[in-house]
Chain A
Amino acid sequence: MKKIWRKITAVFITAAIAAGSISGCASSTGGASTGSTTSGQSTEKAKLTVSTWAGADELKQMQAIVDKLNANSKDYTLTIQSIPANYYTKIQAMISAKQAPDLMWLSQEYIPMYAKLGVLMDIKDKATQDSKVNLNNYFDGPLNTAKYKDKLYGLPWISQPVVMYYNEDLLKSAGVDLPSGNWSWEDFRTAAKKLTKVDSSGKITQWGTVIDGWPPVQTWIWAYGGETVDKDGKILIDSRESIKGLTELNKILRDNVSPTQEQAQNMGDADLFKTGKVAMFFGGAGDDLEKQVGNKFKVGMAEIPHGDKKVTFSWIASTVISSQTKNPDAAYEALVDLTNATFQWKVVPPIQDGFDMIPKNMPEKEYALDVIKKSSQYARGFNNQEKETEIDTAIGDELYTPLINGKKTPEQAAKDAAAKIKTITGK
């Protein structure tokens, strides 16, 4: 009997040691920074981490950027922490355990929420005095998303304005003039109708456009002077201007020029465009559509149609510093270096003189450089609130989806959305 016990014990100890040694050989390096630096008197380089949602290919490119920064810096060594899925779940778990990465990528919607929780470092004073940072060079739209209550919590590194991609072959064969860059939403409607083709059995074989919850409904609200919520949190989604924008959107939706929401989401809105089933598609200026379409047809890019004014939504992300960092000075220096270096990467930068690298880094976008530049000038983000993600969901559920499916009038949808947002914000 003793032998059996010994055997069992031996098996367990071996397994535990194996697990321990395996884990041991991978000793912990993640989480908050290590190393000691006091401003100006560093004894060794501070070890910092930066979290990212970049994919495999992009990680390699980012690693090359970080390697250069590390080689040139006397103050820090930056390590990339890849979070390839469920980014914000992981970030929140790390923050709760005071293990937040020193630097983090944050999409615009999350900055007010994290700032309010006190997990982000205010960099306003440092940035305004820093010769390496020219805040005036940033477009207002992206920079505003990094601000919260008169403080600056990060530096935007990407601002991808929504532009209009079109299938040049389909437009030409339908006799539609190529978009001039000055199309109104009414011009867009006319073109979309011409580009929607129906076969003899009445089945739609080609759609003029696709609107399935994308682009954001603000595209139309802003174009006619409206807002969903203003900077101070005042609800304006049911204002006269906002309803005017929603009415213009509703006209397009009722023209049957877009696949149903279910069709579009099942088949993928971008995939519908890439396969030539949709003629005009709203996408980010940096989206990889041209390469993916290849030689199937000629892709064109134009500014988004305008209403009373020219405005487009921009997908914006910033790099922020965790308030839990043990090396705030080194983290700030790394933030500035990394942000400046990222402008040379294959992203649409949020700064006014950042377009020179686009032809080199994204040669397939060179043909549309002018469109990207112009769109960037009037591109903006949301007036992000502390509960922005909940507000976005409410707008989708109460307004955008019912409007797409023809279940509500613009007025009713706006009223319902306003009521729902009120319960979320309490304002």
Chain B
Amino acid sequence: MTVQRRSLSKSKKLLIQNSVLYVVLTLASIVCILPLFWMISTSLKSGNVIFEVPPQWLPDGFHIENYGKALQDIPFMQYFLNSTIISVTRLVAEVFVSAFVAFGFAKFNFPGKNIWFLLLLSTIMLPSEVMLIPVFQMFTRLGWVNTFLPLTVPAFFGGQAVFIFLLRQFFMSQSDELMEAAMIDGANKFSVFVKIYLPISKPALITVAIFSFQGSWNDLMGPLIYLNDSKKFTLQLGLAMFNGMTKVEWGPLMAASVLTLIPVLVIFFAAQKYFVEGISFSGIKG
């Protein structure tokens, strides 16, 4: 009888705990989803109800014309293509090169290894504004301004320090015995990296890939500084163009933002399984 009562009170306690947890999680989810909901809702509103006070959460009918305007006011498809070219090129380069460098730091000993790694990490702390003018001058002298080269080529030379750091942590957690066994069987270090460590790093690589894509896709400053010809603009620059001299076109801006968000969402959901694994392996937090 006492045991029954105890287990009943235990299950009651669990129920209360779970209920509280779900309420808190539901509230947190609402807070996170609200801006997205507002963006989608606003993209379907007519101009004069966007800033109604109190806010009108649901659109006054479906003003699809905002989407039409978003596609027509800026060359949306051209910008979409430009963003895709830059983001995909960077993604390929950053994932492979970062893994390559990280593998070296994780699995090999060489003179000054820790100092080199520290130097690499210190670049994370360097604000991009400090580098803006000298780097711009360098690319100007190379004749690369107003091309995609300044936005893509640097990714082939070392990737991003933060990705290298994360992948190094991941590689360090993998057993050295795998490498030793493969080398006894005659594999060299590069083939060990490509044939053994890369395949088992899929979750970490996909996580880095998602972050790389998201970073490039949402980058405003890089394309703004290096691209002059509006035909070469990316979607982020296109979104900024809805901010006019005397008004902001909120409806079309929100519609264009929704359309711009879709590729990132698709990629995230397609790779969600690996992404969660990658976070738990490498300790990345979004």
Contacts and interface: CB of A to CB of B under 8 A. Distances in A.
A269 to B, nearest CB: 12
Contacts of B146: 26-31
Given A26-B147, A30-B145, A97-B136, A292 B47 contact: yes
A56 B147 contact: no
SS of B interface (majority): helix
A23 B231 CA distance: 12
Select the residue from B52, B74, B230 with max chain A CB neighbours within 10 A: B230
Nearest to B149: A23
A84 B243 contact: yes
Given A26-B147, A29-B146, A57 B225 contact: no
A12 B228 contact: no
Contact of A23 (B132, B148, B244): B148
Contact of A56 (B195, B242, B246): B242
A274 to B, nearest CB: 6
Contacts of A83: 224
Contacts of B89: 15, 18-19, 22
A84 B240 contact: yes
Interface string B188-230: 1011001100000000000000000000000011001100111
A4 B194 contact: yes
A268 B51 contact: yes
A288 B146 CA distance: 34
Contact of A19 (B148, B188, B190, B244): B148
Contacts of B232: 26
Nearest to A294: B48
16 contacts: A4-B194, A8-B194, A16-B156, A20-B149, A23-B144, A24-B147, A26-B146, A26-B147, A26-B229, A30-B145, A54-B245, A57-B249, A85-B220, A96-B136, A292-B47, A296-B48
B16 interface: no
B51 A28 contact: no
Give the top 10 A-B pairs by smallest Cβ distance, nearest first: A30-B228, A55-B244, A23-B147, A84-B240, A97-B140, A85-B240, A30-B146, A56-B241, A28-B146, A56-B73
A293 B48 contact: yes
A292 B48 contact: yes
A220 B188 CA distance: 78
Interface of A: 1, 4-5, 8, 11-12, 15-16, 18-20, 22-24, 26-31, 49, 53-59, 80-86, 89-90, 92-94, 96-99, 267-268, 271-272, 274-275, 277, 284, 286-288, 292-294, 296
A19 B246 contact: no
Contacts of B24: none
Contacts of B3: none
A90 B191 contact: no
Given A271-B51, A292-B47, 18 more contacts: A4-B191, A5-B190, A15-B156, A24-B147, A26-B146, A26-B148, A27-B147, A31-B146, A55-B249, A56-B249, A85-B240, A86-B220, A93-B136, A93-B225, A96-B136, A97-B136, A97-B140, A296-B48
B271 interface: no
Nearest to B256: A56
Contacts of B6: none
B148 A56 contact: no
Contact of B243 (A16, A24, A49, A55): A55
B132 A99 contact: no
A286 B156 contact: no
B143 interface: yes
Given A93-B136, A96-B136, A22 B85 contact: yes
A277 B133 CA distance: 45
Contacts of A22: 85, 89, 148
B5 interface: no
B147 A28 contact: yes
A292 B225 CA distance: 33
Interface string B156-193: 10000000000000000000000000000001101100
A97 B137 contact: yes
B74 to A, nearest CB: 5
Nearest to B187: A1
Contact of A31 (B48, B137, B145, B152): B145
